[in-house]
Chains A and B, each alone.
Chain A
Amino acid sequence: MRTRRKKSREDYFMDVFNYFLLSIITLVTLYPFYFVLVASFNDGIDTANGGLYLWPREFTLDNYKYFLQEAKWTVALGVTTLRTVVGTFLGVLFTSLVAYGLSKSDLIFRKFYFILVVIAMNVSGGLIAYYVVLNGIGLINSFGVYVIPTMLNLFFLLIAVSFFREIPAELGESARMDGASELTIFLKIILPISLPLLATMTLFIGASQWNSWVDSAYFVQFDHLRTVSYRMMEVINQTMLPTDSQTAQYTAQLQVTQFSVQMTALVISVFPIICVYPFLQKYFVKGMMLGSVKG
């Protein structure tokens, strides 16, 4: 290593400028999350007076109590949790199974299959034709519309193919000699050594399942199938226009407003993501780079 030279003037000014700008960027990124948290623990009617910035002025748990009492929100939370678990499981398993098939080195018609995938990635018939198809196969107004059309994730299909290709073919050979089926080899041998890939896929597919709202808004009409994100969208749409936004909801004991409940919903919706995020970060950075180099 060469000895560290004294910083030049340019170095010094650049560092000051750089760190200053990066601090502002970090603040602008994180403060909104913090504010939402503060507002969810503050008395709703007090929040409406404005001037709430750094900590709860009148600390209360009323917003959370209200949230957990209201059937509309608890049902939505249940539906969202279920679709996230089922949808992620199906998505990760199906996508990697298809990718395993495509990763076979001397696969016949391989080029043709890849052309189909690339076309499907780039061309779409639009949402209306998609709706007509979903309607035709009976998925509209059913839970299936959340977890079935999302089973094959084309972006991760390509990433998984390049991942499986790195696995030496001999790995399954001894099991194959013993007469194990390819499905068994895939489940028992290939998947267990593909944890980084599975973790990345789980995070991304899980987050998109958890966050999804367009399907809930337009592909189902029943209240018992609405997701948390859809319910939030509903509240936001009501309160975006100034005429409605002051309508406070008073319940017998709880002092909450539409706004304070909405902030609570935001916290509850972001919370699981923030919890798993730090543990999976190293995986998804690797996964993205795999995608960017190979894809």
Chain B
Amino acid sequence: MKTNTEENSGLSPRSMLQHEKFSRRFRKQLSFQLFVWLGMSFLLIFSFTPMFGVIMAFKDYNITSGIQGIFTSPWIGLKHFEQLINDYNFPTLVRNTLTLSILKLVFSFPIPIIFAIMLNEVRHSLTKRIVQTASYLPHFISWVVVAGIAHAFFSTETGVVNSLLMSMNIIDQPLAILTNPDSFFGLAVGTAIWKEAGWWTIIFLASIAGIDPGLYEAAEIDGAGRLRRIWHITLPGMKGSIVVVLILSIGSMLGGGLVGSNFEQALLFGNTLNSDTSQIIQTYAFNVGLTQGRFAFAAAVDLVQSVISVILILSSNYISRKVSGAGLY
């Protein structure tokens, strides 16, 4: 009880001692604090100012008024949002964004898991290394290069795929894969898998490597075949990393998940002929904002997407906490 009164009396010797200790500690680590402040000022400029900057979605903002203009320009309420919802493009944009995000998640998520299990079954270590090295490589090249390669393979005139299929008489008209609205989603999902699926096996292979080898030996003695060992030992052993990668994928789903940016894909594989399916919320915001100069309206479009993303991150994290007891935050 004595300590209590001491702490409450504000300037008691003990709290003064603590205060001194704090400022001395702070002075001692001042250099470290300075390093951190450099980073935090960087975040303030390049992350937090844009975050607060989205309030221009509720304002009549003009780019010539600069950054201060974001705060000084007049409020106009939800006008930009009403405009967006009444935009004849809006239902298409939402449909395309969701379709692309969901298809990429559903088709690309299981592949690194299966691929990691397949690699783990390879006993010949040189073969394993060659396949791994090859499969990580596309991760390091840009989407522009992938689009260039896609052009080389799928164009109607010189495309490798079309000319091969035609010479084998499988088709008699070249397939307009790059320009047909119906093939855009397939093209986007396929190239995303080609580029990133190999990369994400690294994490799953790491979690397989952490499984106790004794489990496999015991199962083998009990007469379990390879498939049953995979099903009852390898897969359950990967559960933790599968959950983590799934949360990350769902949280970042609207941006493209872990298999490459929806925005870059839509810009690079989108063209006037397939814009029915290739136009997504982000590319629309970008076009309206930067080419037509309607910054505040475009910020409203961005904000809709950011809010949905944050909800997705928080809810996937919450659900995973409930289901498996493991969350990221």
Contact yes or no, B131 A25, CB < 8 A: yes
Contact yes or no, B118 A21, CB < 8 A: yes
> Given contacts A117-B43, A288-B202, A292-B206, is CB(A266)–CB(B179) below 8 Å?
no
Least CB distance, A47 to chain B, in whole angstroms = 6
Q: Does A51 contact B (CB under 8 A)?
A: yes
Least CB distance, A141 to chain B, in whole angstroms = 13
Contact yes or no, A123 B144, CB < 8 A: no
Query: Which chain A residues lie closer than 8 Å to B310 at the CB level?
Result: 122-123
| Interface hits, B34-81 → A, CB 8 Å | 34-36, 38-40, 42-43, 45-54, 56, 63, 66-67, 70
Q: In the complex, A266 Cα to B232 Cα: how many Å?
A: 45
Q: Does B92 contact A (CB under 8 A)?
A: no
- Number of residues from B at the complex interface, CB < 8 A: 103
Q: Does B147 contact A (CB under 8 A)?
A: yes
Contact yes or no, A123 B51, CB < 8 A: yes
The interface of chain A, by Cβ under 8 A from chain B, is 2, 8, 10-11, 14-15, 18-19, 21-22, 25-26, 28-30, 32-33, 35-36, 39, 47-48, 50-53, 94, 97-98, 100-102, 104, 106-108, 113, 116-120, 122-133, 135-137, 149, 151-152, 157, 181-183, 186, 203, 207, 210-214, 218, 229-230, 232-233, 235-237, 239-242, 245-246, 259, 262-263, 265-266, 269-270, 273-274, 277-278, 281, 285, 288-289, 292-293
Instruction: Pick the residue among B35, B118, B145, B163 that contacts A22 (CB under 8 A).
Output: B118
Contact yes or no, A51 B163, CB < 8 A: yes
Q: In the complex, A209 Cα to B33 Cα: how many Å?
A: 29
Query: Which chain A residues lie closer than 8 Å to B178 at the CB level?
Result: 240
Question: Chain B's interface: helix, strand, loop or mixed, by majority?
Answer: helix
Determine the residue in chain A with the shortest Cβ distance to B153: A32
Contact yes or no, B35 A32, CB < 8 A: no
Instruction: Pick the residue among A133, A183, A262 that contacts B148 (CB under 8 A).
Output: A262
Contact yes or no, B306 A124, CB < 8 A: yes
Instruction: Pick the residue among B142, B202, B217 that contacts A289 (CB under 8 A).
Output: B202
Instruction: Pick the residue among A100, A131, A132 that contacts B35 (CB under 8 A).
Output: A100
Query: Which chain A residues lie closer than 8 Å to B144 at the CB level?
Result: 211, 213, 229-230, 232-233, 236, 269
Contact yes or no, A132 B31, CB < 8 A: no
Q: Mark B130-152, 1 if CB is under 8 A from A, else 0.
A: 11011111101111110111011
Determine the residue in chain B with the shortest Cβ distance to A181: B31
